[in-house]
Copies of this chain bind each other. A is one copy, B any other.
Amino acid sequence: MATQVIVLNGGSSSGKSGIVRCLQAELREPWLAAAVDALVDALPASMQTSDGGIEFAADGQVNVGSQFRRLEAAWMAGVAAMARAGARIVVDDVFLSGPASQGRWREALDGLDVLWVGVRCDGAVAEGREIARGDRPRGMAAAQAESVHRGVSYDLEVDTTHTESVDCARAIAARVT
C-alpha cells in the first residue's frame, strides 16, 4: 500500500519544517504540509493567554489546556480526512505528551498507511539553533529535545545534529512507498 501520511515528531528547533520543505521538493507527487505551528496560527490570539489555551512561557515551557486539546483533536480528524480524500500529507508535530500524543494520532489516522519518523537533534545544538533563528522563546529547544521522544516508537529516525535537512529528507523519502 502507498504511504499516505508521514508523521514527523521532534522538539522545537530540531529542523522539522526544513525537512518538510525538502521532502516536498524530493518526492515526485505533491505532498501537503500539516504543521502544528500552522494550527497555533489558526487559533484565536486570545487562546495564547487563556487558561484553556496554549501558553508559551518565557522559560520555554509549553502548557496546553482543554480548549486547545479539543481543537487539536478536530484538527487531527481533519488531517486524516484530507488523507482519506486522496491528499498525501506530511505532519510536523511536537509530541508534548509523548506516547499519549502518538496515541491520539494513531486513533485519528486509523486505517491509513503511516510512516512514523523521529527527528532528533542534540539538545545543546538545538539550543544554539534556537538563538540563531531568533523567533522562538529561549529554552523550548532544550526542554523538548529528549522528552518528546520518550516512549514513542518510529519506523525511522533521523538526526539533524550532524546531517543536513536535505539528507534527512532523502532518507525518509527512500522509505515512502
Q: Which residues in A have some Cβ–Cβ distance to B below 8 Å?
A: 15, 18-19, 21-22, 24-25, 30-35, 38, 41-47, 53, 67, 70-71, 73-75, 77-87, 125, 128-129, 131-134, 162, 164-167
Contact = CB atoms under 8 A, between A and B. Distances in A.
A13 to B, nearest CB: 11
B44 A30 contact: yes
A25 B38 contact: no
Contact of A43 (B32, B38, B85): B32
Dominant SS at the A interface? helix
A78 B82 contact: yes
13 contacts: A18-B129, A18-B132, A19-B132, A21-B133, A22-B132, A24-B45, A30-B46, A32-B71, A45-B134, A73-B86, A74-B82, A77-B82, A129-B164
A82 B73 CA distance: 8
Contact of A74 (B77, B85, B166): B85
Nearest to A19: B132
Contacts of A166: 128-129, 131-132
Given A22-B131, A78-B78, A78-B87, 16 more contacts: A15-B132, A21-B131, A25-B44, A32-B74, A32-B75, A71-B87, A74-B83, A74-B85, A78-B81, A80-B81, A81-B82, A125-B164, A128-B165, A129-B166, A131-B165, A132-B165
